[in-house]
Amino acid sequence: MRLTRHTDYGLRLLMYLALEASTSGGHASGPPRQVAQIARAFGVSAHHLSKVAQTLVKAGFLVATRGRSGGFRLARPAAQIIVGDVVRATEPDFELADCFAGEDRCVVQSCCELSGVLEDARQAFMARLDAVTVERLVAAKQQMTIALRIDRTHT
């Protein structure tokens, strides 16, 4: 199984904002951060990351603030954001093979065990993601802050 870039960027964005929130002097969701700043930290496209941010706002994971000092911040604490929920909100589908699309794409679907095995695997995959929060993804806060070159002197 391979997650889309949209999901990958969504998780990275949430992780960055979780780091900000964890070191923002008691602010539960951290200061708003602009997409360009986060995109530079990860070396990814700001344009694509902006689209991802809008998806996360619509799904209720982020809050957007307009204006000169605007940007994005977590809508709730990172400990309350379940990775499986983020993946469900950002992935377009979970069809692991053509057999999930119906008999018109797989002539042996009615008698083949493959779709059941793949469905079991998908459920196990999602169950594992459901057991992890965004907060856990940034447990190595100091190392991540250094790797992302987050400047703590101006927050």
Give the pLDDT of residue 154.
45
Residue 126 has pLDDT above 90, yes or no: yes
Report if residue 97 sits inside a domain: no
Closest CA to 38 of 50, 21, 30, 27: 50
Place of tokens 């780091």: 19
Report if residue 10 sits inside a domain: yes
Give the pLDDT of residue 24.
58
Angle, in degrees to the nearest 10, between helices 46-58 and 83-90 = 110
Residue 18 has pLDDT above 70, yes or no: yes
Report if residue 100 sits inside a domain: no
Share of the chain above pLDDT 90, in %: 57
DSSP for residue 43 = T
Residue 141 has pLDDT above 90, yes or no: no
What's the CA gap between 85 and 22, in Å, rounded?
A: 21
HEC string of 87-136? HHHHCCCCCCCHHHHCCCCCCCCCCCCHHHHHHHHHHHHHHHHHCCEHHH
Report if residue 143 sits inside a domain: yes
- Phi, psi dihedrals of residue 65, rounded to the nearest 5°: -120, 125
CATH number assigned to the domain comprising residue 36:
1.10.10.10
Residue 48 has pLDDT above 70, yes or no: yes
- Phi, psi dihedrals of residue 154, rounded to the nearest 5°: -120, 20
List 71's β-bridge partners, or say none. 65
Across all residues in the chain, what is the average pLDDT?
86
Report if residue 107 sits inside a domain: no
Pair 38, 48: CB distance under 8 Å: no
Residue 155 has pLDDT above 70, yes or no: no
Contacts of 152 (CB under 8 A, 6+ apart): 23, 145
Pair 120, 127: CB distance under 8 Å: no
Residue 21 has pLDDT above 90, yes or no: no
What is the number of domains present in the chain? 1
pLDDT in tens, 73-106: 999 999 999 999 999 999 988 777 777 666 566 7
Q: Which domain holds residue 13?
A: 5-91+133-154
Q: Interior CA angle at 59 toward 143 and 71, to 5°? A: 55
Mean pLDDT of 124-139: 95
